[in-house]
């Protein structure tokens, strides 16, 4: 008896997920089985489990419309194959959720870590945010204290950590004394003590959908505004 077998795409696609096979074979008298092999393509990317079919066909019976041989009749002439994914893309979070930095620093470095798997390319968005929406003396101000950031952070296959930098706006006390600045300074000093300011950095929108953001999804950055300038100069 002579028949053909061939693969048919479903959610699994050829040649991304498996290699197409189409062959005509003859089964001999007294032979009761034949084994066929279909190469499966392994990758490192997370994806859902995917299906494709293998069907048996009659090489002598060509379908007029498709021009291809027709599938053999019967319910048992088509077999579904499911490719189970074996890749773990991991989860993303900050290494530290609290960072304290000098007001004279030009930037703050923040580490993002990838845990529980490092297969394939994944990403998330990083976003800076004010401490609170309302008026708050502890609010760090965009462009006055820090440069806001909203960008995609990508982790490639096998990468488990990434350091991102956020620029700070340092307002050093002018060294030269002009009367105007002195007057202004006095005025400021009398009205209010400098207060440490804080802004938030958040992780969001992980991709692909299997990637989770860990509990460490917000990092609070405190800029030490109350730090003594002269002491800092001496320490250096
Ligand atoms: Ca794999
Ligand atoms: Ca995969």
pLDDT tens by residue, 72-122: 999 899 999 999 999 999 999 999 999 999 989 999 999 999 999 999 999
Identify how many contiguous H helices and E strands the chain contains and give both numbers.
2, 14
Per-residue pLDDT of 151-190, as tens digits, reads 999 999 999 999 999 999 976 555 544 445 455 544 444 4
The two structure tokens encoding residue 209: 């959908």
CA of 210 to the centre of ligand 2 (A): 12
* Measured CA distances, 198 to 94, 144, 211, 212 (Å): 17, 12, 29, 26
According to the model, what pLDDT value does residue 12 have? 97
CA of 119 to the centre of ligand 1 (A): 8
CA of 17 to the centre of ligand 2 (A): 9
Alpha-carbon gap, residue 214 to 206, rounded angstroms: 11
CA of 182 to the centre of ligand 1 (A): 66
* Measured CA distances, 72 to 15, 25, 32 (Å): 25, 14, 18
**CATH of region 91-171+192-235, choose from 2.60.40.2030, 3.40.50.1460, 3.40.50.10300, 3.90.380.10:** 2.60.40.2030
According to the model, what pLDDT value does residue 133 have? 81
Q: What is the mean pLDDT of residues 117-133?
A: 94
CA of 87 to the centre of ligand 1 (A): 5
Alpha-carbon gap, residue 145 to 131, rounded angstroms: 12
CA of 83 to the centre of ligand 2 (A): 9
> Which range (13-17, 58-62, 161-165, 175-179) has the least confidence?
175-179
* Prior bond of 39 cis (ω within 30°): no
CATH level 3 topology of 2-83: Immunoglobulin-like (2.60.40)
pLDDT-based confidence at residue 19 (cuts at 50, 70, 90): very high
According to the model, what pLDDT value does residue 16 have? 95
Q: CA-based diameter of the chain, in Å?
A: 110
CA of 15 to the centre of ligand 1 (A): 15
Residue 176's Cα: distance from chain center in Å?
A: 48
CA of 33 to the centre of ligand 2 (A): 32
Residues of the chain within CATH 2.60.40.2030 domain(s) are 2-83, 91-171+192-235
């Amino acid at each position: 008896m002579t028949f053909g077998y061939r693969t048919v795409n479903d959610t699994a696609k050829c040649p991304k997920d498996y290699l197409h096979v189409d062959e005509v074979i003859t089964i001999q008298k007294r032979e009761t089985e034949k084994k066929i092999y279909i190469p499966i393509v392994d990758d490192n990317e997370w994806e859902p489990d995917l299906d494709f079919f293998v069907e048996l066909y009659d090489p002598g019976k060509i379908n007029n419309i498709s021009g291809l041989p027709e599938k053999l009749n019967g319910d048992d002439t088509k077999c579904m194959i499911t490719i189970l994914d074996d890749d773990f893309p991991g989860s993303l979070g900050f290494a530290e959720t609290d960072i304290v930095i000098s007001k004279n620093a030009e930037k703050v470095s923040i580490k993002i870590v990838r845990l529980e798997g490092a297969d394939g390319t994944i990403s998330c968005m990083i976003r800076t945010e004010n401490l609170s929406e309302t008026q708050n003396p502890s609010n760090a101000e965009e462009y006055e204290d820090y440069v806001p950031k909203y960008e995609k952070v990508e982790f490639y296959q096998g990468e488990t950590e990434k350091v991102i930098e956020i620029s700070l706006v340092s307002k050093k006390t002018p060294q030269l004394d002009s009367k105007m600045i002195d007057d202004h300074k006095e005025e400021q000093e009398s009205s209010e003590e400098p207060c440490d300011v804080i802004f938030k950095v958040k992780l969001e929108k992980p991709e692909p959908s299997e990637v989770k953001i860990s509990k460490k999804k917000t990092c609070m950055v405190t800029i030490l505004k109350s730090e003594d300038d002269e002491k800092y100069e001496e320490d250096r």
